Structure formats: structure tokens, C-alpha cells
Amino acid sequence: MTNAVFLIFGATGDLARRKLFPAFYSLYRERKLGDKFAVVGLARRPRSNAEFRQDVLDSIKEFARYNVTKDEQWESFAEHFEYMSLDINNVEGFRELRSLTDKLDAKFEIGGNRLSYLALSPELFGSVSHNLKAGGLQETGGWHRLVIEKPFGYDLKSAEKLNAEIRQVFDEKDIYRIDHYLGKEMVQNINVVRFANAFFEPLWNNKYIANIQITLSETVGVEERGGYYDRSGALRDMGQNHMLQMLAIMAMEPPGRMHPESIRDEKVKVLRSLRGFESSDEVRAHTVRGQYAAGTLKGQALPGYREEDKVNPHSNTETYFAARVFVDNFRWAGVPFYIRTGKRLPVKTTEVVVEFKNVPNNVYLAKKHKLEPNLLVFRVNPMEGIYFKMNAKQPGSEGTIVPVAMDFCQSCQVGLNTPEAYERLLHDAARGDSTYFTRWDEVALAWKYVDQIAQAWSERSDDLQSYPAGTWGPERGRKLVEEDGFRWWPVNGQDEGEVAWEFVQR
């Protein structure tokens, strides 16, 4: 049931404009919202309802999957949207909000359900929860859910404090912590591929898998978020959440059933099994950090990180990080998981590569064939799909062995208009399905792991390496994998070196 008054705190901000309003519109167009809903936009700056609806229309025109025109359908959608100017620190405003929501509840026959979406800076999360209660907004009958954006804290200590504040008002079951990577189609597909196919699960362990590589590369710099990013860095911005979540999904045991708590329990077990570090030197041996300098990307000259707006010109914040991670359990003992992410890298892509151990090469040894390892690749973004790389005879040759790809390209299917991550997550929260949201124990364990790295890095910064914008990060990122006798496999058809994979390029 999606009947609810949606309270969008931060309705004049970037996230609301780029992601949330377009998501509402797509859900409406696909009849997933029904008609018993209202959206109240909340922020300090003044806006009439008409101005707010115009903002919503503009954002949909710019960012939504569906085209919109000012027609009857738009009018019936727009009448569900109202705006109220509110300062989060002013409890009086919340009392007025209670009256407004009661009125909308009666108008659209909602039945008391409330979903508060905090598209705000995290410092304000505690005040909103407190004032929702103080303003009487938690006493309307129906359910009351809280959707919170990342970052969930800056480290374990601040995350605990934040959690304690919101838990004074909301039960854990009603808190939906967003990690938008969990809303991505292909991330959700990893479990299906693993648990709904006979041929992967038997091989999914240290007997057959040599290593797993997770790459989240971006071409963008910090854009207008320099103030936030300079305090955060790649480790906290992407590592603590998206990367460890993807690792957990790749490594988890099959859940008893596809129930939110069963899935989260399995992810928690993985996060609990992450091998910690004995010393700062050990952290440095298993991690790499870098910061982009001026460079060129697709022919465009780009400034270095320290020249970006709102960034400290002497900043030591990392814009790239890579790590060798071990999951110390029976299934994964000895298998390295290599994770890397960075801004101003040559391509925008999210991919997971599973490299299998080679078969014994006695059969083809005499012919001096070097067998390439089998790879299973999940393409999350921008292309969506899966491909499997295997060895086969080159047609017409005298038994020459070449790697070939079996390629399932989901995003190439004509007419497929896959929902955006925020759309799916908003719909899930409204339906009360928390499967693809992070539970507190997952968040806490991820911080515990990341804090060890951050602590070691804070002691000195001589290992922070610079890399030109438009390259694959610092040299040591490559070495991290080569030290173990492996290499980063090309992502999105792009390689770091001279080897190009024509057969995976479309």
C-alpha cells in the first residue's frame, strides 16, 4: 500500500530536483502511486504552491524517464504537491505542518500514513526526528517511516550518535537508510544470478574463484560538492557504503528466503568477517589513495582537485582509493576482493569482475597455449548486463585458443526503460519493503572497518599519490593487484594498458 503523505525535507535542494521529483512522476505514470497520496515540499526559502509545482515540472522535464507536458495528466499529478516554508529548528512550524498534513490526509483519503524523506545535510536529521514528534506528526494513526540519505555519519562514533537521535523517535523497522547502489537494477540482479542458476553457486568459493574486482569509476570531479567532499573523501563517500555493500552482496551466503531480514543477516555476517588490520603499516600495505591533479579527459583540460571550488588548496583528501579486502570465512579464505573507486578516471562505469582459477593446462601445454582465465562480469552502469568470458577455438585455425564472450546486454534491449534507482527505492519505502536499505548493524560494521583505514591515513599523508585527471589513478593502484600475480581486468571495454578487448567492445 503506497497511500501516504510524503514529507520531503530539503525540497528546494539538488537531490529533490534531480532524483526525487522525477521518481514520483515515473511512479505515478506507471500507476504505482495510485491517487491516495500527497507530497509536501519543505525548506526554508519561500515558495507558493504554484512556484513549487513549476519547480517540480522543470525538474521532471530535465531529469525524468517520461516526457511531460502541461496537460490534464500533469494537472492531476501536480495537485498532489504542496509547499510549506519551514525551518527545521522551529518546532512551531512542525505544528503548522501537522495541520497541513491532516488537511491533505482528508482530501486524498490517506489514512494517517506518513513518510518523511530527509534530503538534507545529516546534521539536521536529529532535529527533524525530534520535531516530528514534538509537533505531533507521529500521532496520526497509520505508519510513520523515515527515509534518510547518506552519509550516515562521518565515522562510527558520529553514526552512533545520529542513530541514537533518530531511534528516540523511530523504530529500526521504520528507518530506511538509502544506499542508492542497492536500488540499481544490476546490483539487485547479482543475487538472482547467484541464487537462481545451477551453474554459478557450486563454483562460488575459494576452490574456483581466484579474485573478485569491484570498480566504481567516475569521470566527474567534485562538481559543486567540494565543501562536503573535501571533508569526506572517496573512502567515506563511496567505500563505506556502496563498495562494501556490493562486496557483501557478492560474498554473502544464500539467505533462507528472500526476506529483508534474512538478506541483511547474511550481509552482516560478511561485514563481520572482514579481516581487520594489525597496524597502520598493514593498512598502507593493503590500501592505496590518490588525488587527481590537472589533466585531460576526452580532449578537455581539467583542473586539479586542489583548484576545485570550496576545496582547501592544500587538501590531502583522497579522490581515489583502492583496497585489497579479505573475507575471513570458510567460503572465501584466501580470495582477495579488490575494490577501487575514483573521480576523474577515464570512464564512468560500475563493474564487478569474478576471475576464476585456471584449469590445469596439461592438455594444451604441448601447443604452448596460454589459457586466459574465465571471467564473469556484472555490468552495473552505464551498460547493464552480464558477460562471461571463456576460451574457445578460433574458427578456421589449427586449434588456436582465443577468449570469447557470451554477452547478455540488458540495456541494449529495445523498449526497455529501466526504473532509476531512486524510483525503485522510493516505491519500496512506501510499500514497506526494506530489503534494499541498510540496517543499522550493517552501517556500524562498515564504519568499524573503514575507521581503521581512515585512522591509519590520518597519521601521515606521504602515501597519498597524485594522478593526472583522465588516468586510472596512482601507479600503486595497479601494483596492488599485480603484487598478487593478477591484473585489473578492463572495465567498460577500456584497459589501463595496451591490451584492448575488441570482443567485448560493441
> Residues 130-169: x/- map of binding to ligand LXAUTJHC (CB under 6 A)?
----------------------------------------
Q: How many CB atoms lie within 10 A of CB 250?
A: 22
Which residues are designated catalytic? 242
Q: From the list ligand NDP, ligand LXAUTJHC, none, which binds 314 (C-beta under 5 to 8 Å, kind-based)?
A: none
Q: From the list ligand LXAUTJHC, ligand NDP, none, which binds 239 (C-beta under 5 to 8 Å, kind-based)?
A: none
Q: From the list ligand LXAUTJHC, ligand NDP, none, which binds 383 (C-beta under 5 to 8 Å, kind-based)?
A: none
Return all residues near 113 (Cβ < 8 A) that are at least 6 apart. Answer: 1, 3, 4, 5, 142, 143, 144
Q: Least Å distance between CB 98 and ligand NDP?
A: 16
Q: From the list ligand NDP, ligand LXAUTJHC, none, which binds 10 (C-beta under 5 to 8 Å, kind-based)?
A: ligand NDP
Give 113's DSSP letter: -
CA distance 183 to 8: 19
> Has 36 been labeled as part of a binding site?
no
Judged by CB under 6 A, the stretch of 11-19, 99-107, 315-323, 451-459 that binds ligand NDP is 11-19
**For residue 365, how many C-alpha atoms fall within 13 Å in the half-sphere facing its CB?**
5
Cα 114–chain centre separation: 25
Q: Least Å distance between CB 336 and ligand NDP?
A: 29
> Has 218 been labeled as part of a binding site?
yes
Q: Which of 15, 210, 249, 251 is in the footprint of ligand NDP by CB under 6 A?
A: 15
* CB nearer ligand NDP, residue 311 or residue 376: 311
Using the rule CB under 6 A, is 120 a contact of ligand NDP?
A: yes
Q: Which of 55, 82, 105, 218 is in the footprint of ligand LXAUTJHC by CB under 6 A?
A: 218
Give strand ranges (E) for 413-456.
none
The count of residues in the chain is 506
Q: Least Å distance between CB 218 and ligand LXAUTJHC?
A: 5
What DSSP element (H or E) covers 280?
A: helix 280-286
CA distance 310 to 313: 9
Backbone angles phi, psi at 115, to 5 degrees: -125, 115
> Has 13 been labeled as part of a binding site?
yes
Using the rule CB under 6 A, is 423 a contact of ligand LXAUTJHC?
A: no
Q: Least Å distance between CB 208 and ligand NDP?
A: 36
* CB nearer ligand LXAUTJHC, residue 19 or residue 114: 19
Q: From the list ligand LXAUTJHC, ligand NDP, none, which binds 207 (C-beta under 5 to 8 Å, kind-based)?
A: none
Which amino acid appears at position 256 of this protein?
G
CA distance 174 to 167: 10
Kindly give the interhelix angle for 125-134 and 91-108, rounded to the nearest 10 degrees: 70
3 state SS of 375: strand
Return all residues near 3 (Cβ < 8 A) that are at least 6 apart. Answer: 34, 36, 37, 108, 109, 110, 111, 113
Backbone angles phi, psi at 299, to 5 degrees: 80, 0
* Cis geometry, peptide bond prior to residue 254 (ω within 30 degrees of 0): no
Give start and end residues of each alpha helix (H) in 177-243: 185-195, 226-234
Using the rule CB under 6 A, is 88 a contact of ligand NDP?
A: yes
CA distance 488 to 480: 10
> Has 343 been labeled as part of a binding site?
yes
Q: Which of 55, 82, 230, 237 is in the footprint of ligand LXAUTJHC by CB under 6 A?
A: 237
Give the nearest residue (CB) to ligand NDP: 13
Q: Which of 73, 99, 121, 168 is in the footprint of ligand NDP by CB under 6 A?
A: 121
Longest dimension (CA), the chain: 83
Binding residues for substrate: 180, 184, 218, 237, 343, 348
What are the residues binding ligand LXAUTJHC (CB under 6 A)?
218, 237-238, 350, 381
What are the residues binding ligand NDP (CB under 6 A)?
10-15, 18, 43-45, 86-89, 119-122, 124, 149-151
